[in-house]
Amino acid sequence: MNWKEAIVLGLSLADILGFLCVIGTVWGIKMMSSPATAVRGNLLGAVSMAVAIIITLVSENIIGQGLLWAGMAVGTAIGYWSALKVTMLQMPQMVALLNGLGGGSSALVSLLTLLAGGSASVASVTGLNMGLIVGGVTLSGSIVAGAKLHGLMSSRPVVFEGQRTLNNAVLAVTAVLGALSLMMGTGTLFVLAMLTLIGSLVYGVLFAIRVGGADMPITVSLLNSFSGVAASISGFAISNPLLISIGAVVGASGLILTQIMCRAMNRSLGQVLSGATTVLKPAHATDKSTASAPVRSRGAEVSSASTAPTASAGSASPAVPAHIQAARNARKVIVVPGYGMALAQAQSDVKALIDMFDSRGADVKVGVHPVAGRMPGHMNVLLAEVDVAYDKLYEMDDINPEFADADLVVVVGANDVINPAANTAEGTPIYGMPILNVAEAKHIVICNYDTRPGYAGVENPLYQPSSKVTLLLGDAAMTLKKLLADIAAGDGAGAAAGIAPTDGQAVSAAPTATTSTSTVGYVDIVKQARKVIVVPGYGMALAQAQADVKKLMDMLEQNGADVKVGIHPVAGRMPGHMNVLLAEVDVAYDKLYEMDDINPEFADADLALVVGANDVINPAANTAEGTPIYGMPILNVAEAKHVVICNYDTKPGYAGVDNPLYKPSSKVTLLLGDAAVTVKQLMADLSTR
């Protein structure tokens, strides 16, 4: 079959199938605009690209080239490993790296085609040089962007005298070198092409280093557009309609996204690329006569009122803090997440907070600023991970009119995007930037790490003394847990949302469960255990407790125990979920055992420690005929000499089948509550004995 023979309207079969792949890719991008269809859209785009690759291999009659298949296999393996290994917190860096690889691929195609000398056309050589330059700039610029996002380079813009002149000179020399290749012979062409590539790589570095960390998402988006442009240019040069079309789609979508982000931050693209939007010293947005900011207290409650709440005269107990009273009485609540939530991995705590307010009858919404986080949709993805309903997420323009009627706003790790100085502080980098109107709410609780200015370097007036603002400073995951406990204390409202009155309370499944003797007994058993098997589950992922599990394993090993990890093949939300989470915190691979390998060892284990697992350890799978899990292979945790279960509660798992391990037994201890808290409590108990 001749794949390139015209069959209709001058189009070949390869052209027609390629056009269908382009439609699939564009439709996939459209589906990714909504969280509800994003996963399917991503899958459609991936399938369309895979089909496009096959079409190219077949139509060019190179499908039998083993070296190509080997290269694709290596690339697929690296991509799959990266998708499992990279956390959502690192996803912006991952996107930057993928942009760079796309640009590098286009530069390589242009370079090899140029050196092959197959076309003497001026237009073709010009296109190849443009692809070489744009691809090179994308490659080096994306590497710098990724390094800044990952903390390998300072996030501050690198600005020096004569920088613009140097940048323009490098770009001009690079362009001249490319132009000279139009008139030089083959021998000189190689040298000129390599110099052109080097010039483009240098310009890419200069291009990216002058952008500050707060604006790096815009730069990544622009580099994404560049990668598409480079691919499209290369497609023109090698007469590949599919490459032209896909490159154009990526280039256009990246440019549109860049414009949207610039508009949302009230920046021009020129300001971003010149580094003019970040100041090196904090800009003061308030008058010098204003009272000093609240005392900073890491991990503690700090009221921004001029005087902290105190007990009323003659009262036997202290007054309820204003922010707790406001939270308990709130009928309308807006939660505002930011990059601090991502850093603290506090999205599961935000979900718990939302559930608590829901259980109290409050109307809870989440206001998401378009540039919150390190990439567009960052907050949406993190909250979707912990099953926050899509209809609770509101964009800035939709939520802003509602702040004035809100009884309470809870800010979690956001600064610049809520900074009222954007409306008043002329001459500062954020002046005129649209913000979330948090300041209009009746009461505001800010769970930020400290009161330092954000990336823009502009002090936030919300940190100044005010009776309507409370600062809970420190790690957001910890301050939210304390806020949840304080709201739930004194009434039963937290129970409906699953908030334990005292996190980390030890509750033995034995009849004498609540006695101190029982608690002491299980601690001694843990400390004396010589063989321990840890069983992680999805609850560990929700609580982001993998680092605590690693610390506990280290503590037990230092005590002389042989510690292994038993992993069920369907633990978590995807194959290898537990492996990836534990690898993130450097748990050695040789400690991870699959179900068939670890099951024979439970009978000899002194202790099985379960962290957030239910159905995969439920003995009912062996006996409860007619239930969804009957006959399902499980981890034989019940055979261990003693079992400690760090689960959130004793409710059935997804299968809806009660777990017999939760029934009274002298060999089982339940530590109920957030796994990160209960595992920390277990380590503290072990340290004190």
355, 416, 615, 685: which one is catalytic? 416
**Tokens 């004190």 correspond to what residue?**
688
- How far apart are the C-alpha atoms of 330 and 333, rounded to whole Å? 7
Q: Which amino acid is at 602?
A: F
Rounded-to-10 torsion of CA 239, 257, 351, 615: 0
Q: How far apart are CA 29 and CA 367, in angstroms?
A: 24
Q: At 255, list the tokens.
A: 């440019």
Q: What angle do CA 647, 651, 656 make, to 5 degrees?
A: 120
On whether the CB atoms of residues 476 and 341 are closer than 8 A, the answer is yes
* Torsion angle defined by CA atoms of residues 81, 82, 85 and 86, in that order, rounded to the nearest 10 degrees: -170
Q: Which tokens in the block code for residue 412? A: 């979690």
Q: Are 339 and 379 in contact (CB under 8 A)?
A: no
Residue of 243, 208, 228, 206 lying closest to 60 (CA atoms): 243
Q: List CB contacts of 366: < 8 A, sequence separation 6 or more.
A: 334, 335, 336, 337, 354, 379, 383, 388, 392, 393, 394
> H helices of 183-215, where?
186-209
Distance between CA atoms of residues 42 and 330, nearest Å: 39
Q: How far apart are CA 605 and CA 384, in angstroms?
A: 38
Q: 415-438: string of b/e by CB count within 10 Å (b at 16+)?
A: bbbbbbbbbebeebbbbebbbbbb
Partners of 594 in the β-ladder? 567
Query: How many CB atoms are closer than 10 A to CB 649?
Result: 12
Is residue 416 flagged as an active site residue? yes
User: Could you give the angle at which helices 38-59 and 13-31 cross, rounded to 10 degrees?
Assistant: 160
Q: Using the 8-state DSSP alphabet, how is residue 289 labeled?
A: T
> Token pair for residue 388?
């926050």
The catalytic residue positions are 416
